[in-house]
């Protein structure tokens, strides 16, 4: 990537690769879950058909910390252990909303999809903007088309950081609850809680 964001060119060519790569999880925030539910007119139980709970097994704590740093969002406690919540994928890695090379939920796609290929990290009162490592090595749209609209990218970054902050507040509350009853940690209860969560 060019050091100057104003010189960076990107044009999505709708190849669907980022939507079908097995190694990527499209993380979901409470805002994303709420938007999915409204768009699909779905209950929390219905959302279980399109939302996945991904457990990452690490051999040691240093690897676990690295995974959590790369994921940006912390895992959430479930009755089967900590998991990352994301869009469900087929066994071959394709997102459940990918039909051919087209996203059927494009207008209501999660913030992480809207932000691609950019990645945002907290830095003081603002955010750093970078190009995700997956995008730089796999996306054919990098370097194509016109230079990006810097104002739009910064606005996207602001929205993304707000959603990340909201998610972290939710995760702190959810993971900090004082219950040893596994029925209180099911994916269904988690989704109901995300739907009810107010920023």
For the chain, the domains span 5-196
With 90 as the cut, is the pLDDT of residue 196 above it? yes
Q: What is the pLDDT of residue 51?
A: 97
pLDDT band at 14 (very low <50, low <70, confident <90, very high): confident
Residue 38, exposed/middle/buried by CB under 10 A (0-12, 13-18, 19+)? exposed
With 70 as the cut, is the pLDDT of residue 37 above it? yes
Average pLDDT of the residues in 172-197: 94
Rounded mean pLDDT of the chain?
Answer: 88
With 90 as the cut, is the pLDDT of residue 193 above it? yes
Q: What is the pLDDT of residue 62?
A: 66
Q: Which residues contact 196 (CB under 8 A, 6 or more apart)?
A: none
Q: Is 127 helix (H, G, I), strand (E, B) or coil?
A: strand
Residue 137, exposed/middle/buried by CB under 10 A (0-12, 13-18, 19+)? exposed
Angle, helices 187-196 vs 30-40, to 10°: value is: 90
Q: Rounded to 5 degrees, what are φ and ψ at 67? A: -60, -45
Structure tokens at 154: 């910064």
Q: 156 to each of 108, 134, 171, how far by Cα in Å?
A: 15, 19, 22
Q: What is the pLDDT of residue 72?
A: 78
Structure tokens at 156: 């996207």
Rounded percentage of the chain residues whose pLDDT exceeds 70: 90
With 60 as the cut, is the pLDDT of residue 32 above it? yes
Q: Prior bond to 36 cis, omega within 30?
A: no
Helical segments of the chain, H only: 30-40, 44-47, 61-71, 111-115, 133-138, 150-175, 187-196
With 60 as the cut, is the pLDDT of residue 75 above it? yes
Q: What is the pLDDT of residue 68?
A: 67
Nearest to 111 by CA among 164, 190, 182: 164
Q: What is the pLDDT of residue 64?
A: 66
pLDDT in tens, 122-180: 777 667 888 888 888 889 999 998 999 989 999 999 999 999 999 999 999 999 998 88
Residue 86 · residue 52 · CB < 8 Å: yes
Nearest to 67 by CA among 20, 35, 110, 27: 27
38-42, 58-62, 68-72: segment of lowest average pLDDT: 58-62
With 90 as the cut, is the pLDDT of residue 119 above it? no
Q: What is the pLDDT of residue 2?
A: 40
Structure tokens at 71: 């994921």
């Amino acid at each position: 990537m060019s050091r100057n964001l104003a010189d960076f060119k990107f044009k999505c060519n709708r190849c669907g690769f980022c939507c079908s790569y097995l190694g990527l999880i499209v993380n979901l925030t409470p805002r994303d879950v709420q938007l999915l539910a409204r768009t699909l007119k779905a209950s929390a139980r219905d959302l279980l058909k399109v939302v996945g709970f991904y457990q990452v097994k690490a051999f040691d704590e240093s690897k676990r910390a690295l995974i959590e740093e790369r994921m940006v969002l912390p895992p959430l406690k479930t009755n089967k252990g900590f998991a990352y919540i994301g869009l469900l994928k087929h066994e071959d890695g394709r997102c459940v909303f990918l039909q051919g090379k087209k996203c059927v939920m494009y207008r209501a796609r999660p913030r992480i999809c809207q932000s691609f290929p950019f990645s945002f990290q907290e830095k003081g009162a603002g955010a750093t903007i970078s190009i995700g490592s997956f995008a730089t090595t796999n996306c054919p749209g990098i370097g194509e088309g016109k230079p990006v609209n810097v104002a739009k990218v910064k606005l996207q970054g602001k929205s993304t950081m707000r959603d990340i902050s909201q998610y972290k507040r939710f995760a702190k509350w959810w993971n900090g609850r004082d219950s040893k009853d596994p029925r209180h940690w099911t994916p269904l209860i988690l989704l109901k809680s995300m739907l009810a969560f107010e920023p």
